[in-house]
Amino acid sequence: MNAPLRRLSIAMLLLFALLLGNLTWVQFVQGDDLRGNPLNQRVLLEEYSRQRGAIVVDGSAVASVQETKDLLKYQRQYPSGPLYAHVTGFKSPEYGDSGVEQSEDSLLSGHDDRLFVRQLSDLVTGRKPKGGNVVLTVNPAVQQATFTAMHGRKGAAVALDPRTGEVLAMVSGPTYDPNPLASHNSSTRSDTWNKLTADPDNPMLNRAINQSYPPGSTFKVVVSAAAMRGGDDSQTRIPSQRSYTPEQTTAQIQNYNGSSCGGDEITMQQALTVSCNTAYAQLAVKVGEKRLREQARDFGFESSSLECPTKVSTSQLGNMDDPPKLAQSGIGQRDVRMTPLQGAMIASAVANSGSLMRPYLVSEVQAPDFAVLDKTRPREFSRPMTTSSARDLQTMMRSVVEKGTGRAARLDGVEVGGKTGTAEDGD
């Protein structure tokens, strides 16, 4: 072979090697990313060629599909608009998904292994494939009442059934309408996305599970439970002067407006009723970091295992390694942060005689023919207090509402317990 032919052969071999290398890179290294890219038209057309399953609340679809004459055969719809936005999330041809749409995507899209028999039947019969349905625990009346109460407010509210852990309502404000994000009109989608992501109030953020806040005086319930774990009860007397200066600092802790809590020493129940800062700062120091941290962890703090059904942000205690930090943490300040869901879990454990049930939002999942594939069974998350301590705390929290800082929550003919809390936070 002469020199020119040899050079040509080598060049051709190099080109084939480069082509083979590129094919290998695309197929095996980038394959999953390319297949999962929402802008991949082939994947998009296949995904929207099948009827996505419904998300259901009390027998009514809060996320459904409508057949179109577009290139994308089915369009996602949210009949209640903003009401369930932070529960269902959104499913967008361009911007992916969130909420239940994300966590239950494999079932809703029809790719879940639990639908194997259905998939096989579709293949044999030529029937058009469909996704399964997801049934939620939400109570529509409770959700609507919570949504109405939260209207125009920035924050979040969660209602749990203490006996089971079922999420009866989950609302985050401000909210948004997921319908434009699901639109098949690219301009509508992009305009809505740009507006929502540019909003400083971040309306797409689910503050109920993905944002943590200083709990303020609501954390005094945790401190009370920790004290009871050490042998105290609702009638244990604790110091309650107008101001308290922990060791190792000159910074004073005072009550709201520098007020008195009713004497230099009051019972734990009286201290919770009037939300006495000086009493609970000293009680936290008495309890100590070890027991307080153990107690908070039993309620769910510092747990990374919570999902509802997407991952829940971890509630944190921060550093409590000296008396000043411990005292400030005892009144829900310093570095203590918790999600609104965490707050609901604490109250639920008290209401359920000391048993904390694991929160869940998905009641059951169904095949396209509505046959139940899987049903969530209530599970205990932990037992953060004894039945006796829970009974004591129930009495204390009722006192807060009946004659303390929570009087605005009183309802005629209904026993209500609670704990108020105020903390400065910009989010």
User: Where are the domains positioned within the chain?
Assistant: 44-129+176-205, 216-356+383-409
pLDDT recorded at residue 116: 78
Q: Which long-range contacts (CB under 8 A, 24 or more apart) does 295-298 make?
A: 295/222, 295/225, 295/226, 295/229, 295/384, 296/222, 296/226, 298/356, 298/382, 298/383, 298/384, 298/385
| Residue 141, token pair as written in the block | 């009346």
What pTM does this model have? 0.88
- pLDDT higher than 70, residue 368: yes
Taking alpha carbons only, the member of 374, 384, 272, 376 closest to residue 330 is 272
Kindly report the backbone phi and psi dihedral angles of residue 183, in degrees, each rounded to the nearest multiple of 5, phi listed first.
-60, 150
Q: What is the mean pLDDT of residues 319-328?
A: 96
How many CA atoms, within 13 angstroms, populate the side-chain half-sphere of residue 377?
2
- pLDDT higher than 90, residue 401: yes
Q: What is the mean pLDDT of residues 197-225?
A: 97
pLDDT digits (tens, 9 = 90+) for 254-296: 998 778 898 889 999 999 999 999 999 999 999 999 999 999 9
pLDDT recorded at residue 40: 55
Alpha helices in 374-415 (DSSP H): 387-403
- Are the C-beta atoms of 417 and 351 separated by less than 8 Å? yes
- pLDDT higher than 60, residue 32: no
Q: What is the largest CA-CA distance in the chain?
A: 108
Cα(11)–Cα(402) distance, integer angstroms: 88
Q: Give the pLDDT band of residue 8 (cuts 50, 70, 90).
A: low
pLDDT digits (tens, 9 = 90+) for 240-252: 999 999 999 999 9
Q: What is the mean pLDDT of residues 177-196?
A: 97
Indicate if 399 belongs to the active site: no
Please list the helix, strand and coil fractions of the chain in percent, rounded to the nearest 5, in that order: 45, 15, 40
- Are the C-beta atoms of 225 and 218 separated by less than 8 Å? no
- pLDDT higher than 80, residue 14: no
Q: Give the pLDDT band of residue 117 (cuts 50, 70, 90).
A: confident
- pLDDT higher than 80, residue 162: yes
Give the CA distances from residue 101 to residues 84, 85, 271, 315, 424, in Å, rounded to whole numbers and listed in that order. 12, 11, 45, 24, 34
CA 314 from chain center: how many Å? 10
Region label for 275, one of left (φ > 0), alpha (ψ between -120 and 50) or beta (otherwise):
left
pLDDT recorded at residue 57: 98
Q: Which of 20-34, 114-128, 208-222 has the lowest mean pLDDT?
A: 20-34
Cα(347)–Cα(401) distance, integer angstroms: 14
- pLDDT higher than 80, residue 123: no
Domains 44-129+176-205 and 216-356+383-409 in one fold: no
**Sign of the CA dihedral running 353, 358, 359, 364:** negative
Alpha helices in 257-315 (DSSP H): 268-273, 277-287, 289-299
Q: What is the mean pLDDT of residues 297-325?
A: 96
Q: Give the pLDDT band of residue 323 (cuts 50, 70, 90).
A: very high
| Residue 400, token pair as written in the block | 């807060």
Taking alpha carbons only, the member of 214, 218, 216 closest to residue 339 is 214
pLDDT recorded at residue 294: 98
Query: Is the CATH number 3.90.1310.10 carried by domain 44-129+176-205?
Result: yes
- pLDDT higher than 90, residue 9: no
- pLDDT higher than 90, residue 11: no
pLDDT digits (tens, 9 = 90+) for 68-111: 988 889 999 999 999 999 999 999 999 999 999 999 999 999 99
Cα(43)–Cα(49) distance, integer angstroms: 10
pLDDT recorded at residue 115: 84
pLDDT recorded at residue 333: 95
Q: Give the pLDDT band of residue 253 (cuts 50, 70, 90).
A: very high
- The whole-chain average pLDDT of the chain stands at 92
Cα(129)–Cα(110) distance, integer angstroms: 7
- pLDDT higher than 70, residue 27: no
| Residue 265, token pair as written in the block | 């020493």
The better pLDDT of the pair 234, 117 is held by 234
β-strand partners of 55:
63, 134
CATH topology of domain 216-356+383-409: Beta-lactamase (3.40.710)
Q: What is the mean pLDDT of residues 401-406?
A: 95
Catalytic residue among 217, 329, 355, 363: 217
Q: Give the pLDDT band of residue 424 (cuts 50, 70, 90).
A: low
The enclosing H or E element of 4 equals helix 3-24
Q: What is the mean pLDDT of residues 197-226?
A: 97
